[in-house]
Chain A
Amino acid sequence: MATLSIDKITKAFGSVTVIPELSLTIPDGEFCVLVGPSGCGKSTLLRIIAGLEPVNSGRILVDGVDMSEAEPPERGVAMVFQSYALYPHMDVGRNIGFGLEIARTPSAEIAERVRRAADKLRLSSYLRRKPRELSGGQRQRVAIGRAITRKPKLFLLDEPLSNLDAALRVGMRVEIARLKAELASTMIYVTHDQVEAMTLADRIVVMDGGRIEQVGTPLELYHRPANLFVAGFIGSPAMNFLNGRVASVQDKQATVRLALGPMLDIPISRPLEPGDDVVLGVRPEHILLSAEEHADAHVVEAGVVELLGSDTFIHVRNGEENLVIRDSSGRVARAGDRLAISLPPAACHLFDKTGHRISENAPTRWEPIPAKARIN
């Protein structure tokens, strides 16, 4: 349990700059997910927080104390590694207790804490086994057990689920969510999987090229992406981007003509000039499909249709632009069908040439489901 402050750090490997300059504060008890494409510097950032990589400049503060040059145990970190990194020559019990052993904790206390961690993670009957005698999921739990016995201030997880198969991954994700509730320690979790990020995080930090693109709650990122990168990274299938040009601007509202055809009125928060090129983003699930043509609708021809059972993904090709529509109505479309689509302006995001968000809208408000509705 600790507040982590990262203060203007930079990191380069030789002449390759991995992190240009980065600051971030993670408050006490938060579950923070670092997410981004591979090579974006998220793992390096985690290793810097852990104390495994020195920074070139800047400071790492834990509860306000400068820890930039401290070894990992002094920082009070524990870490779960992607490959689990269990000691192959030690049994499960010793693997879990090794950090305490090094810290010269009395052996009775080690035994007690190992036992408790093992109970919590359903490992009690495996304590005498070597890592190679365990399944992938069990090794994963040992790695987590090793981290929680340390009672860390900062609990770091580096793509912990990426070596598990799909079914196991869902199970472990739920297990980590439960752990988060129980431990109440500050957790920092690196992943490239946005489902893990969305489901686990209190706050998500989206990174690209060593820079932070946006920090926010999962729903903030989903509904108000700060730029094209975040808009394209969060959400699956990815947000559609359509080129357009500003036709007119009046009173915090821009009228945009899309290359695709329709004109849309979008509320904006930053100045725009008529004639500016813009990119309009709309998520596949927000495009409305209607059976008949009507005034606001635009008619397109369905290309490839993917039937997922619950959803249908309809790919539309229009000149240079591709559009994906996600339809959950249960209707079945076929390639070649003529579809009338409309883009609700409230669900459209507008980005300027540099990729920054300019639309003001917060399309769908998140509201708690009323208790009555939940019971029904």
Chain B
Amino acid sequence: MANWKKAPIREALGKTLVELGDRYPQVLVVNADLRNSVKSIYFMEKYPDRTIEVGIAEQNMIGVAAGLASLGFIPFAVTFARFASKRAADQISMSVDYCRNNVKIIGAYAGIFTGAQGVSQQMIDDTAAMRAMPNMTVIDTADVHEVRSALLFAAEFSGPVYIRIGRDEWPVVFDETYTFELGKGRWLREGSDVVLLNSGILLPYAVEAAELLESEGISAGVVNMPSIKPIDAALINDISRNVGAIVTLEAHNVQGGFGSAVAEVTAANYPVPIEMIGLRNEYSESAPNDALLEKHHLNPPWIAAAAKRALDRKNRLRC
């Protein structure tokens, strides 16, 4: 098993926002309270004049951000994913996505590992809502380095972006050299029997599952795909053709999320067996992360079991 170094994800969000402030004078942060939780407090402390605080009013947060963007600012609207996405879903659709206003929406506390605070502070259907918006770029993040890189990308990119970001101390998979690439997945580990295709925070467990599978003589690849929209269809097609079995991983409901996005690609091009790791059309609860990983079958043994099911279906199809 990998012995992961851990780092707090929300600290990376807070620090990177300050870095963005240092680099780009046009960057503003729009808060809807929660600055202490999502760590945008660091930006506020350094750049009080560049912080817009609307209070607990996410619909207004999005509309104000759109107005700020219209005069050339790059507003980062930062709050919990539940409130940043669907609480203001129509404002995002009409005032940001349709009009292509250059607003960056940061959904912190995405997924279920949000400090044992229960369902109302988790978010498992934001990817589904955001990726259905035609002009939206949707990114999920795995560790502190991917968080930083995705935020830097968003500041440079012209157009609406939604980024999912976790909260807790979390395994560090990448290093400082990591660079997010829009629409690109990346192999972390080669494999010829099955590929574990990950978007977001379950990445270390995908790596551990691949090691488990290897110990059982199964060659499992690991591909990380933070860019959910646009998605790396070329790489998915390669995997479909050359490997022929896929497990998708996401801290999100399997209905409508990253797994669905992958399945849309395979179904249209080269259908192969897919098993989806994620919330199985269910809500979570407040509990320590280990307990939630086990409850929702997100642990490496469960991932390995899913990989074997996909591999088994592949082999039966090919008989």
Binding between chains A and B: no
